[in-house]
Amino acid sequence: MRTQNPITFDRHEEAASAEHIAASLTSAKHTSYWLDNARRPEPTPALHGFITTDLLIVGGGYTGLWTALQAKEQDPNRHVVLIEGQRIGWAASGRNGGFCEASLVHGEANGENHLPKENALLSELGAQNLDDFEATVQRYAMDVDFVRQGSLSVATEAHQIAWAAEEAEAPGVDYLDKHQVKNVINSPDFLAGALDHQSTALVHPAKLAWELARVCRELGVEFYENTQATELVEMNEQIKVLTTDGQILADRVALATNVFPSLIKRHRARIVPVYDYALMTEPLTDAQREAIGWEQMVGLADMNNRFHYSRPTIDADGNFRILYGGYDAVYHFGGKVRSSYDSNPETFEKLAAHFFGSFPALNGLKFSHAWGGAIDTCSRFFSFFDLTHGGKVAYCAGFTGLGVGATRFGAKVMLDLLSGEKTELTELELVRTKPIPFPPEPAAWLGVKLMTDYLIKADRNQGQRSAFLRLMDKIGMGFDS
């Protein structure tokens, strides 16, 4: 999880006036741009009473929806029920940047650090997963604004130019010098870049959730929204799931609750909620669009520890807008998920200042939306799995902000685990191992703060990782991607 270089972007904060920043955010709605859409479906009724099913899925985000879809594809006669505590796609699935990446392990370097013997295979499986993702979108004519034109990693400091060249050694990745980067996206901050043509697609996050739900319904999946699971009870050959106003008796259960407290209590210490924030611009004028270029619909990220990500999108009226997010990744003491954390004016102001610093040609542009949401963060920064209750309950979580594509793979793994058979996926080290749990408070809060401070220092020291960061890497709680 890279972040923008504090030296460069602190300078931007000083350069932009407080009045200018405040004016750009004055009319911004503090809700996800993606969810603020007239096409958002009406919720299905909540569950009241008792039902039975072959497969119950708990959670109506990407992980749960992909599980339901693939379960029905595998066996159209299987009775599948999905329950969601609030509304389909309302949490991380409706708030992210819409970067659908091939990586299953949060980047090549992170995969090599945690699973060196398996990293090459996981790269192949990730590429196949993205191909299959795209094929599914096409097969069901899913209207999700899917565009697979790649992503651009940019160097914002001189020492990162060599990193861009190193990234470009991979197949399908081109090295761009400063002039070439400017021809793709015009910013004074970008000194070089690596343009990856195949491993990233862009999607409309909320539409993806809604379209997955549409396809699932057409395949016969039964939905209940505003239905929160509260307890798992083993009942001989089945599992009884208690909800706030009902009960479900299921042969198999797939838990897809991600950042929310797991019904398998031993995993609660493996996930902490880290809050990420983003802005969406108002539509650009033709002159503004021409000034920055960005003709290709490619995603953008820099090469620092505390990174910004950015991407274009075309709204319902055909207007070009830019999403800009990242930098602050906020962990709150106690590790609670609260709606009050979804808004962070201080971070919104930082993001606005950094945006105008990187794109001075867009001075005067305003932001229509400013929002945040919780990321299900684990210590190894990619998903983990479990199979409990005698093989009747599967669990998957921990995508750490890179779940748009990887959740499809995670859903496939859960279905393999629930089948009771050994498969290529169930035998993966990724599936058989677990991340190190986070310590209890106050150690968790202090640890996250210390890690963040050292990552900032690394950015200020030409990316050189301190002895502390190298130790964290060695014990499996470090990150470099």
Q: Are residues 222 and 316 in the same domain?
A: no
pLDDT one-digit tens code per residue, 102-116: 999 999 989 998 999
**Section 66-78 average pLDDT:** 98
Look at the block and give the residue holding tokens 């343009």: 195
Are the beta carbons of 164 and 301 closer than 8 angstroms? no
Within a domain: 481: no
Given 356, 375, 394, the domain boundary residue is 375
Q: What is the CATH number of the domain that holds 168?
A: 3.30.9.10
Taking 70 as the threshold, does the pLDDT of residue 235 lie above it? yes
Would you state the pLDDT for residue 444?
87
Q: Are residues 71 and 106 in the same domain?
A: yes
Q: Token digits for 199?
A: 């491993």
Three-class secondary structure of residue 242 per DSSP: strand
Would you state the pLDDT for residue 6?
41
Total domains present in the chain? 3
Within a domain: 85: yes
Classify 462 in phi/psi space as left (phi over 0), alpha (psi -120 to 50) or beta: left
Within a domain: 145: no
**Section 92-98 average pLDDT:** 97
Would you state the pLDDT for residue 101?
97
Are the beta carbons of 322 and 284 closer than 8 angstroms? yes
pLDDT one-digit tens code per residue, 211-230: 999 999 999 999 999 999 99
Give the whole-angstrom CA distance, residue 281 versus residue 195.
Answer: 24
Would you state the pLDDT for residue 464?
73
Within a domain: 40: no
Would you state the pLDDT for residue 15?
54
Within a domain: 44: no
Q: Are residues 81 and 213 in the same domain?
A: yes
Q: What is the CATH number of the domain that holds 428?
A: 3.50.50.60
pLDDT one-digit tens code per residue, 325-338: 999 989 999 999 99
Give the whole-angstrom CA distance, residue 37 versus residue 90.
Answer: 12
Within a domain: 438: no
Q: Are residues 249 and 129 in the same domain?
A: yes
Q: Are residues 179 and 287 in the same domain?
A: yes
What is the DSSP-derived secondary structure letter of residue 438? P
Q: Are residues 53 and 112 in the same domain?
A: yes
Given 348, 375, 402, the domain boundary residue is 375
pLDDT one-digit tens code per residue, 333-382: 999 999 999 999 999 999 999 999 999 999 999 999 999 999 999 999 99
Would you state the pLDDT for residue 265?
92
Q: Token digits for 230?
A: 């509260």
**Section 156-185 average pLDDT:** 95
Would you state the pLDDT for residue 139?
98
Q: What share of the chain is helix, strand, coil (3-state, %, to 5)?
A: 35, 25, 40
Are the beta carbons of 173 and 322 closer than 8 angstroms? no
Give the whole-angstrom CA distance, residue 451 versus residue 456.
Answer: 9
Would you state the pLDDT for residue 46?
98
